[in-house]
Amino acid sequence: MSLVIEHVQIYSPGSSLHGDTSIGIDAGQFVDPAQLSNSVVIDGRGWTLLPGLIDMRVNLREPGLEHKGTIASETRAALAGGVTTVVATPNTDPVIDTPADVRLVLERAQRAETCRVLPTGLITQGGDGHLLAEMMSLMEAGTVALSQGDAPFASTAIALNALKYAASLDIPLILDPTLADLRGGCAHSGRVATGLGLSTNSPLSETLAVRLLLELVEVTRCRVHFSRLTTARAVQYIANAKKRDLPVSCDVSLAHLLFDETAIANLNPNFHLTRPLRTRHDRDALRQGVIEGVIDAIVSDHAPHEPGAKLAPFPETEPGMSMVECTLSALYALDHDGLPFAHSLRAMTTSPAHLLGLDWLGQIEVGYTADCVLVDPTGQRVFDHAHWISEGENSPYFQGVGMGQIHGIWVEGNDRTDRVSIGIRDDSR
């Protein structure tokens, strides 16, 4: 059954459609509504239609970590955040380093009938950074890119081999720039950690890794996407690399755009992250990086945990924040705090679509795949216990409120609104 959304404000970076207009959806694609007849009609007055968001870093926790979340629960949480495509990390148990693992994730995602799941696999066997995994077999099984998860390469030698091998087979890599021997520490080595005496992580662990990996990219010409930048200097290095036409891109997490090191002053374990929150200067540079397009993508870095993982003194808690469910609200919050929505939306639609080679996705335009979100941007969103979907309650938004009431969400033209408990669309309008 085809669908027409009438009189809706279309807001889609790069699209020819904008403002008060109507759009049709048929056979999974956006179509000209004039060509449709006998369609279901939705009155979109007062609401905005956005392209479905693309989140390049989500921990779905399945297989093996179902006590933290499942593919079904966390992809539902993604839909509730306006996210219609997630790139799944390989940090599961067992990790995703064989074609069978990839197929398992794809099958369970298909069964969940929620959002689009694009798996990634590990570059090295077991993710320990020592021996190469069957990289091409993983890609053929359906991964969209390969990564090292949260872990760095064990040595520069294996990093060089991985980049050379990937470049020769045109495999894109997603890398966390972290130097193996400088990783660790639960807080940024700045004034807040100094006052609290927390174990520290130096920004050098990131900046040195970025410089080293850029040098390897220069030599190998491997396509590398740097994930979760946290420092102003790293943004500068990537900007310079792009000027030299190196095949690099990068992303930043919502947490690093929203918060800085002062968020941990009260030892709230929800702010204990794998890559620590850094200074206000770094946060501002990351926002500026998104505005200028140096930073290509924004990720939720969704990391749901069971309550017990955060029920300990700060340094002993597991790092990570449950965020995908709050993605759209976070973008609206940033819009009111110096990061215009037009830029953040691009970093979660057209830009990641392009990076992932999904050029049929990320826009509301005739002929594109019909992933979209119908939202009341001024509507308040309540994240109370009854409406929370993710298995992980380890979020600064949990028990709070946000902006952006979602009234409908479609993935490849399929209505997924009933997957989220955040207010069912009123079809009588």
Partner 1 sequence: MPGPAELQLNRDGNLRHLLTTEGLSRELITSLLDTADGFRSAQGQPVKKVPLLRGKTVVNLFFENSTRTRTTFDIAAHRLSADVVTLDIRTSSASKGETLFDTLKNLEAMQADLFVVRHSAGGAPFFIADRVTPHIAVVNAGDGTHAHPTQALLDLMTIRQHKGDPNNLSVAIVGDLRHSRVARSLIHGLRAMQCPDIRAIAPGTLLPNDLADLGVRTFHRIEEGLSGVDVIVLLRLQKERMIAGLLPSEREFFKLYGMTEDRLRLAKSDAIVMHPGPINRGVEIANEVADGPQAVILNQVTNGIAVRMAVMAMTISTQQADALCRL
CA 142 to chain centre: 19
Of the pair 308, 367, the CB lying nearest partner 1 is at 308
Neighbour count for residue 287 (Cβ, 10 Å): 23
Of the pair 309, 331, the CB lying nearest partner 1 is at 309
* Of 284, 389, 301, 269, nearest in space to 55 by CA: 301
Of the pair 19, 313, the CB lying nearest partner 1 is at 313
Minimum distance of partner 1 from residue 216's CB (angstroms): 27
Q: Is 301 a catalytic residue?
A: yes
CA 198 to chain centre: 28
Q: Which residues bind partner 1 (CB under 8 A)?
A: 189-191, 193-200, 265-268, 308, 311-316
Helices (H), 142-259: 156-168, 191-196, 204-220, 232-243, 254-258
On whether the CB atoms of residues 235 and 178 are closer than 8 A, the answer is no
Minimum distance of partner 1 from residue 194's CB (angstroms): 4
Of the pair 142, 315, the CB lying nearest partner 1 is at 315
3-state secondary structure 252-292: EEHHHHHCCHHHHCCCCHHHCCCCCCCCHHHHHHHHHHHHH
Burial class (CB in 10 A: 0-12, 13-18, 19+), 367: exposed
Minimum distance of partner 1 from residue 195's CB (angstroms): 6
Of the pair 341, 398, the CB lying nearest partner 1 is at 398
Minimum distance of partner 1 from residue 267's CB (angstroms): 5
Of the pair 44, 203, the CB lying nearest partner 1 is at 203
On whether the CB atoms of residues 81 and 300 are closer than 8 A, the answer is yes
* Of 390, 389, 427, nearest in space to 407 by CA: 427
Minimum distance of partner 1 from residue 356's CB (angstroms): 37
Helices (H), 98-203: 99-112, 135-141, 156-168, 191-196
The one catalytic residue in 301, 337, 359, 415 is 301
Report how far apart, in Å, the C-alpha atoms of 358 and of each of 118, 246, 354, 355 are: 11, 21, 6, 8
Minimum distance of partner 1 from residue 266's CB (angstroms): 3
Neighbour count for residue 246 (Cβ, 10 Å): 17
How far apart CA 299 and CA 24 sit, in angstroms, is: 29
Active-site annotation, residues: 301
